Every structure is written in structure tokens, then in C-alpha cells.
Amino acid sequence: MSPANVKVTHGATRAGRARHLLLALRSVLVSVAGIVAVVLIWSLVGRLLAHPSLLPSPVAVLGALRVLLAGEIGADILASIVHLAAGYSIGVVIGLLLAVLCARFENLDVFIEPVIEVLRPISAIAWIPIALLMFGVSESVPIFLIAYAATFPIFVNTLDGVRRLDRLLLNAARSLGASGNFIVTHVVIPGALPYVLTGARLSLGVAWMAMVAGELVGGDAGLGWRIMWYQEFFAMDKVMAIILVIGVLGFVADAALRGLQRRLLGWNPVES
Amino acid sequence: MSRRRSKILVVSALAVLLLAWEGAVVLTGAQASWPFPSGIIRSGFAITADGTLLVALAGSLQRVITGFLVGALVGIPTGIAMGLLPWVNLAMRPVTESLRSIAPIAWIPLAILWLGVQGNAALFVVAYAAVFPFILNAAQAARAVDRNHLRAARALGAGPGLILRAVVVPSTLPTIFTAARIALAIAWSSIIAAELALGVKIESGGRSVAGLGQLMVATLYVKRDVNALVFGMLVIGLVSFLIDAVLRRLRDTLLPWARR
């Protein structure tokens, strides 16, 4: 703000507020224009491609979405959420547990970390054939893949968070006579929480991708499976509608965890 | 515990684990349905010796690199424009954020429709997966360019081309390199996913095997060789490990000022 603006009277602040509002309005308009442009290009390309089933128009996809929302998609969303909830909680519990064990017992750490380091580069995707062999085409495939994918980010971040704890704080608590439990609840957990939550968010991201891939290739229910189902019927408008739903749900899930992060960590904003 | 001793301990523990695994499978006579170490090595040797593995690996890697480059070519300029020009950021952010939330693999049916089963559909999925790390990181890096450097360059009469070349590129390069590492890792796991999804389709049509993912599908449904499957998995892991190691080494030699 320029120095001239500092000596403002009451009326001038109102003008300033109006200008602020105008700027905000303009930025909203530009954002909307971006989306409108994409939709326009999308329908133009669809028209040029000659055949509407190659790239269904935005209107067709919205229509398909309405049909889906009115009917069967609820069951698919539910199935996907069940897969995600089951797999994600298994993965997060295993990841947290292993990280806590590694941090607490150095002897175990020597064994756990090499195993994790060997498994980590093998993405969940690479397990799909084995998972198919072990479980057959069933809900176990996506759940297994989600759990596997979710384990690593939270493990790595939690361990990192515990290791980065401020030694000074630990020593201070210890020398002031705090008990082991007290140190855990008042120093270790608050100190590691930002990293744990970052890990939880990263885990959710990879879990989401694993869910779609697992359902698409080896599931018998869920959004990913439904994509393949509609592909068999060559219903591309419905395929795109489901892609849209996957995008929106993925965005909402990430936003929810980001909100949780902000809420729990008002005192310690972590770079996301 | 000393480093050396703990290393010996780990190696021997892993050796014991492998032996126990081998013993358990062989003693229970479950060699047909369970993978075991010596079987994995034998199957691995077989598919390496007859060349199928190398051909598939080459096919996958070629598509990964092409998709990765497409992602970089689209993502880096977009990201830098978003980071430098506020109105581009406003217009593009909602679009990129909403597209980013879509799992790349979900595009497979449409990609097959547009580009065919031959492998270009997989290429599309890879490029789609790789573009977002580039956009996000390039935008963040461009936003972090020191405004005073930009102003100084402008005041000294530098044109937009020179500013890009002499100010923006050197300062964003380290972050873009990080983006490349993330993008390549995601690209590699997407190609496998895409090929697996395609493979299920291709295999039913009796078409030839094209990539590592398709090779694994064929192994699963045609040969039913568990050991080869595990070997393929290990190869996938090894490749992503090598990709990361090579890129990290490359960063340290190319961008010594970015070393951490």
C-alpha cells in the first residue's frame, strides 16, 4: 500500500473496500472464464470429431450424470467408500504402528526399515496381478491395494516427525520430572502430529489412485469398476460422468483432510 | 549397535527369512500356487533369457519417457505462466485442480477410444499423470522467483525472452527437477496400471504382448506362473528405484547449487 493511502479518512476506506470488492469480483470472473473456456473447447472438439460418442458434449455428460445420480451410482459410490475406508484404515494403522515401533525400539527398526525400503519402490499397481491371483476378482483386491499404498507415506512421515522432535524439549520435559506417558502425550504427539497429518494426506492421495486402479482392473463393484462396465456398453457419456464424480470426490476428500490439518494445527501450519 | 554389526544382522535375518520361505513352500508341496525364492529366480532367468522381459521392458520404458516428455513440455510452461502472471493463475487454477483430482487410470476407456489399444492409450495416461507435478512445482517455483531480480532485469532493459532465460529458468530449475523426479515415479506406476488395464483387453483379443504390464497379464492368465509374476513385480520395483537414484545423481551433477 502506498504512503498516500495511509492517511485515509472514513470515506476513503469505504472507497478502498469497494475497490477491494471489485478486484475480488474480477478474480472470480477470471476463474469462471477459465472453466468456461475449457467447456467451450471441449464441446468444440467434440463437434469437430464428427461422432458424438467419441467425445460426448458437456451437455450430454451432464445429462448422463443426472441419470446416474438419480439411479444406480449411489451403490457404486458407497462401494468405493467402503473399499477406501477399509483399506485406508488398515494401511494407516499398519503404517503408524510400524513407525511407532521403529521409533521406540531401535532393534526392530534395523529390521523393519530395510523391508520397507525394498517394498516401497514396488507400487501398489505392481501388486495387481498377484492380488488377482490371491483374491480373485473381488472387493479384496481394491482393499488390499489401498491398504498397501496407504501404508508407506504415513510410515515415512510419522517416523520422520518423531525423529525430528526437538531434543531440547524432550530433555527439558525429562529433567523437569515428566513421566514417560506425559512426555508422549505432551511432547511427542504434538511434535509429530504435523508430519503424521501430512503423511495421512499423502496416503489418502495414493490410496485414491489405488482404489480406482484396483476397482477398474480387479474389482466387482465401485466407481472404477463401473467405468469398465459402461465402457462395455460404449456409453462414453456415462464413463465421463463417472470420471467427473471421481474427480469431485477426490477433491472433496483432500479438501476435508486439508481442513482437518488446519484445524488441528492452528499453531503449526505445515507446508502442504 | 554399530552400523557394521547391524548391517550383518539385517542381511542374516533376511537370509533366514528367505530360507524359511523356501523351506515352507517346498515342504508343504505348494510350489504350484505359491511363489518361492528359487522358483522366482528360475522363472526370472527364463523370461530374461528368452528376451520377452527385455522387449516388454523396452516398450514400457519408451512409453514412459515419451509420456514424461509430453507432460514436461505441457506442464513446465503452463506452471511458469501460472506462477508469473496472476490472471493466468486465476484462470487455470480451478481447471488444473479439478483435473488433478481425477485418477489418471480412469481415463483408460476414453484413451482407448481416442488412441487405440496399441499403446498410445497408455501413453496418454502417462502424460496425464506426469503433467500435474510439473504444473504445480513450476508454478510454485515461478512464484518464488525473487521479485527484485525481475524488477532489476526489467529496469535494466531486459526483454521478456532474456528475463525468462537469465532469471526465471535458473531460479526455477531446482524445483522443476524435483517435479521431474515425482513425475517420473508417477509415470512409471501409471504405465504399469495402464498396461494392466489394457492387457486384460488385449489378451482376450489374442493380440501380442506390448509392455511389462501386458506381460504380467499374460503371465497371470495364460501361463499362470506365480514366480514369474513376482519376478515382474520385483523388476517394476527395481526400475522405479533406479529411476529415482539416477535422477538424484543427475541433479547433484547438473545443479550443484540445489544440493541439500
**Do B78 and A38 meet the contact criterion of CB atoms below 8 Å apart?**
no
Q: Does A232 touch chain B (CB under 8 A)?
A: no
Mean pLDDT of A87-93: 96
Percent of chain A with pLDDT over 70: 92
Q: Do B105 and A243 touch (CB under 8 A)?
A: no
More confident residue, B3 or A203: A203
Is B8 part of a structural domain of the chain?
Answer: no
Q: How large is the average pLDDT for residues A167-184?
A: 85
For the cut 60, the answer to whether the pLDDT of residue A10 exceeds it is no
Decide if B169 is inside a domain: yes
pLDDT at A7 over 60: no
Q: Given this model, what pLDDT does residue A268 score? A: 59
Percent of chain B with pLDDT over 70: 92
Taking the Cβ of residue A37 and every Cβ of chain B, the question of whether any pair is shorter than 8 Å is answered with yes
pLDDT in tens, A106-132: 777 877 877 888 888 888 888 888 888
Instruction: Give residue limits of the domains in chain A.
Output: 3-47, 62-264
What confidence tens digit (pLDDT) does each residue in A66-83 have?
888 888 788 899 999 999
The region of weakest confidence among A165-169, A193-197, A256-260, B202-206 is B202-206
CA distances from A112 to A107, A126, A162, A195 (A): 9, 21, 16, 20
Q: What is the pLDDT of residue A270?
A: 47
Q: Give the containing element (helix H, strand E) for A253.
A: helix A236-264
Grid cell of B4 as nine digits? 557394521
> Tell me: the pLDDT tens digits for B175-207?
888 889 889 988 998 888 888 888 755 544 444
- Which CATH number do you get for residue B212? 1.10.3720.10
Q: CB–CB of B109 and A228 under 8 A?
A: yes
Res. B2 pLDDT band, cuts 50 70 90 = low
- Quote the number of domains for chain B: 1
Fold of A62-264: MetI-like fold (1.10.3720)
Note the pLDDT of residue B206. Answer: 47
Beta-carbon contacts of B247 under 8 Å, excluding residues fewer than 6 positions away, are: B177, B180, B181, B184
Looking at chain A from residue 137 to 196, which residues have their Cβ under 8 Å from any Cβ of chain B?
none
Contact B192 A30 (CB under 8 A): no
Euclidean distance between CA atoms B220 and B35, whole angstroms: 13
CA distance A195 to A184: 15
Does A112 touch chain B if contact means CB atoms closer than 8 Å?
no
Domain extent at residue B189: 51-258
- Give me the residues of A, 5-34, that contact B with CB < 8 A: 27, 30-31, 33-34
For an interface test with B, the pick among A57, A105, A125 (most B C-beta atoms closer than 10 Å) comes out as A125
With bands split at pLDDT 50, 70 and 90, how would you rate the model's confidence at B257? low
How many other CB atoms sit within 10 Å of the CB of residue B140? Answer: 18
pLDDT of residue A4: 43
The mean pLDDT of chain A is 84
> A224: part of which helix (H) or strand (E)?
helix A223-232
pLDDT at B156 exceeding the cut of 70? yes
Q: Contact, A187 vs A118, CB < 8 A?
A: no
How far is B170 from B168, CA to CA, in rounded Å? 6
Query: ipTM of the assembly?
Result: 0.79
B133 in a structural domain: yes
Taking the C-alpha atoms of residue B128 and residue B215, their distance in angstroms, rounded to an integer, is 23
Choose among A31, A38, A125: nearest Cβ to B192: A125
Where does chain B show beta strands of DSSP type E?
Answer: none
| Cβ burial, residue A66 (10 Å; 0-12/13-18/19+) | exposed
